[in-house]
Structure 1
């Protein structure tokens, strides 16, 4: 004879809780849920900040790679800087919402005033970085010289040329560039450009 489904189930157990115990359980469950939600929110916030910092570093490299062309474009434009209506911060902010490098550069080149603003901003921040490095250490001076030779100077130099000039390896050139770009990114984009470990 087969047992029916009701016969095979284990007997149900009931627990009797006072109102205070039930309230305490609800409170503890709510606290656990809230803590988990806050942890998840903080984790997402860190991811978003990290992505934004990565984007700023990428955009700093993009501006540096295109600096000579932007400078030439601004020097050869018909319109002067007196027509500027945007600030460097406005342009940098708009860059953060674009993800195609060509579109970003074209957006900057689109108007003479935008190009002039960005070139002026880059030059000002490079000047501040140079001053910081000169007051710091010989290693920082070398990092400034590496980034200047790679992206800013009129003479175009490769990593190999810079390594030879500085009497170091190409790997050290790239290491110096990485650190210099991170520091310059903080200057270009402000405190939001800092990578927090």
Structure 2
């Protein structure tokens, strides 16, 4: 093997290693983005009643405030939110919260329809569980007892339900 062949083999190996590394990093980033969206879905559901109250009790006139901001842009900005709060941001905060809630409510309606028309009892149960825990504030034990399931089924249903709801809320970025 001469020097040129060794250099060529080394270059091919380096390119192959770099391509593999980039593919792995892309997969990690995709998974991380999906995990963030799933976490955000659970956070949005957990705080849904409080956010709804925030909009209801705001002194800001929401109908006049709604802009043409895209829902996805608003949801994406959740990742960049800083803890610094400025007075001017109150208007924008109420508007963004209202837009996010309207989107979540619509996606919850779509998810409910999906579950009711799927023909699968577990889909209907998953919607009932999400509704009970996140929107109605029920305790795990009472949900499990009412549904006749154990805690492992409860957690699986939460994971599966939030996964589907995440896909509805965030679109393709919510799909793993």
TM-score of the two chains, using structure 2 as the length reference = 0.86
Relative to its length, the structure with more helix (as a share) is 2
> Which residue in 1 is equivalent to 2:124?
141
Match among 69, 94, 98 for residue 77 of structure 2: 94
Alpha-carbon contact 1:159-1:174 (below 8 Å) kept? no
> Which residue in 1 is equivalent to 2:110?
128
Q: Which has the larger radius of gyration?
A: 1
Alpha-carbon contact 1:74-1:112 (below 8 Å) kept? yes
Alpha-carbon contact 1:74-1:115 (below 8 Å) kept? yes
Greater CA drift, 87-96 or 33-42: 87-96
> Which residue in 2 is equivalent to 1:118?
100
Alpha-carbon contact 1:108-1:114 (below 8 Å) kept? no
Please, what is the CA RMSD of the aligned residues? 2.3
* Structure with bigger RCO (C-alpha 8 Å, 6+ apart): 2
> Which residue in 2 is equivalent to 1:184?
165
| Post-superposition offset of 1:182 | 1.0
What is the aligned length? 169
Q: Distance in 1 between matches of 2:148 and 2:94?
A: 40
| Post-superposition offset of 1:50 | 1.3
> Which residue in 2 is equivalent to 1:56?
37
Q: Distance in 1 between matches of 2:114 and 2:90?
A: 28
Q: Which deviations, in whole Å up to 9, do the C-alpha atoms of 1:21-59 show, x marking residues without a partner?
A: 443332222111100110011111111111111111111
- Structure 2 unpaired stretches of 5+: none
1:27 aligns with 2:18: no
TM-score of the two chains, using structure 1 as the length reference = 0.77
Q: Distance in 1 between matches of 2:31 and 2:110?
A: 25
| Post-superposition offset of 1:82 | 3.8
Q: Which deviations, in whole Å up to 9, do the C-alpha atoms of 1:61-85 show, x marking residues without a partner?
A: 1101000111112122231234112
